[in-house]
Structures are given as structure tokens and as C-alpha cells.
Amino acid sequence: MYLDRLVEAKREEIQGLKRDYGDGDRERALRLPPVKSLVSALTSDPSRPGLIAEVKPASPSKGDIRPDVNPAETAREYEAGGASAVSVLTERTLFKGKLANLKQVQERVGIPVLRKDFILEPVQLVESRLAGADVVLLIAALLNEKKLHSLVEEAHWLGLEVLLEVHEESELPRALAAKPDVLGINNRNLHTFVTDLAVTERLRPRVPAGIPVIGESGVLSRKDYKRLTRAKVDGILVGEYLMRQSSPRKAAESLTTGVRA
């Protein structure tokens, strides 16, 4: 199954990272200036959700989407179109991303940058912080309780914010107990790839007040964006739809403008 292969490949990558990164790198990461806060970006205008616009060259479910994308240029356009944050896929094999994309984006935008990858070990957090990430994605389905807590704690030590993603209701108590900064509800089934916006609608009311919530995946139109807005999320993460539009700026604008709950 693709997820097992992906995790296996990640584990090999992590062995390399453990050889390349040492205590000195962690010390360097600890001295970096504060990140740009996703929490602040999402909560500054409570009247509407913030758009987290994604740079997504390819995906396991769709194959190539825009493999030749210019990440920095696209991210600048997203920002000009009103996005509150940019998500950058850095996973190489199935998403055709790379860490260099994140660095390039971070240098060109003023909004928070999320690293979307499969993070399993603390060394990837050091790598993320040094590469310029403001926020990292953790996926509840891939991490046991102990690992989840230790990764959230280490991310916070390093000054990073954490977006913790759940796919089903059973993951919620464990995810909330780990005290992430933002909770993501992913509408895409990790195993079948089917997206269903009803997942956000079902899980959103089960999240207590006080933590910003993002609805992720499967938004393919303004109608879908409005539907998630009505579900009272604080942010909406959109990848494929934006990547397929000729003008990322206009596409971001058309999603965010005039969308009210």
C-alpha cells in the first residue's frame, strides 16, 4: 500500500538526516527569530475563514497536477489574492515536492508557510525550522500517542507551530490531548483517496472552542469553499483546484472574496 511505501522511504531519508544534522544544527534552529504565526493569521478576521493555498505539483491520487510549477511565483500570487498562509508540499516521491521549494517560498512571501510532509522524527523538525517553515504538519494516523506528544513538544521548543491533522472522529481525543496549535480535519480518506466535505461538517462540532480548525482537501469550487465556510472552520486548505487555474491570484481571490458564513 502506498502509505507503507511512503513511510518506509521516509524512514530511509530520516537515517540520512540523522547523519547530516547534529546538536549544532538544533542549537542554530533554537536561535532563529520567531516564526510567523498561523494561529494569528487565521484568527485575525473571525468573520471568514482564512485560505491556506497549497503548492502541490503532483499527488498520489491524481498524479501530475503541475510538475513544472514555480513555487515562489505561485505563492506570491496566492498572497496577492488574499491567502492567509501558504502550504508547500515537500515530499518528493508522490507529490514531486522538495525542501528547496519551501525555502524559495519563505523568502518571497510575508504570510506563514506550512511544511506539508510526512514528519515522523524530531530531526525533521530541525530540518523544517532551518528551511524556513513557520508551521509543520503532523498526521495523527501515522503517530502513536507518545510520538505525537514528543513531536508537538519538540516543535514548540524549536519555535514552530503545529497543524495536527485528523481523518476520522476516533483520532480526535488523542489529537486534542497532544495540544497542537491548529487542528486540521482532512476530508480525504488516506486509504481510498475519496474526498467528502461531510467529514469536516461532522467533526467540526466535536472540537472544543479555543483551537483554530482547518477544513482540508476536496474543495474544487467556490460552492465547496462556501460549504466549508458554513461549517464554521477558521481556515480552508486548497491545493489541486488552485494549482489547475491559469491565474493563482485570481483563483485565490475568487475563493476568498465575498465568502461569508
Backbone φ and ψ for 48, nearest 5 degrees, come out as: -155, 155
Instruction: Count each helix (H run) and each strand (E run) in the chain, helices first.
Output: 12, 10
13 labelled catalytic = no
Least Å from the CB of residue 154 to ligand LARABZUK: 22
User: Which letter does DSSP use for residue 31 in this model?
Assistant: T
The answer to whether 203 touches 166, Cβ cutoff 8 Å, is: yes
Nearest approach, Cβ of residue 58 and ligand LARABZUK (Å): 9
CA distance 112 to 86: 6
- Is 227 a binding residue for ligand LARABZUK by CB under 6 A? The answer is no
Q: Which residues contact 44 (CB under 8 A, 6 or more apart)?
A: 50
For residues 123 and 166, which CB has a smaller minimum distance to ligand LARABZUK in the complex?
A: 166
Q: Between 117 and 161, whose beta carbon lies closer to ligand LARABZUK?
A: 117
| 194 burial via Cβ count (<10 Å: 0-12, 13-18, 19+) | exposed
Q: From the list 15, 70, 170, 193, which residue makes contact with ligand LARABZUK (rule: CB under 6 A)?
A: 193
Residue 18 annotated in active site: no
Q: Among 13, 29, 50, 54, which residue sits at the site for ligand LARABZUK (rule: CB under 6 A)?
A: 54
Q: Residue 146 catalytic?
A: no
Cross-strand pairs, 195:
188
Which of 101, 104, 186, 229 lies at the binding interface for ligand LARABZUK (CB under 6 A)? 186
Minimum distance of ligand LARABZUK from residue 38's CB (angstroms): 15
Q: What is the DSSP letter of 90?
A: -
- Containing 258, the helix (H) or strand (E) segment is none
* Interface positions with ligand LARABZUK (CB under 6 A): 54, 56, 59-61, 186, 188, 190, 193, 195, 216-219, 237-241
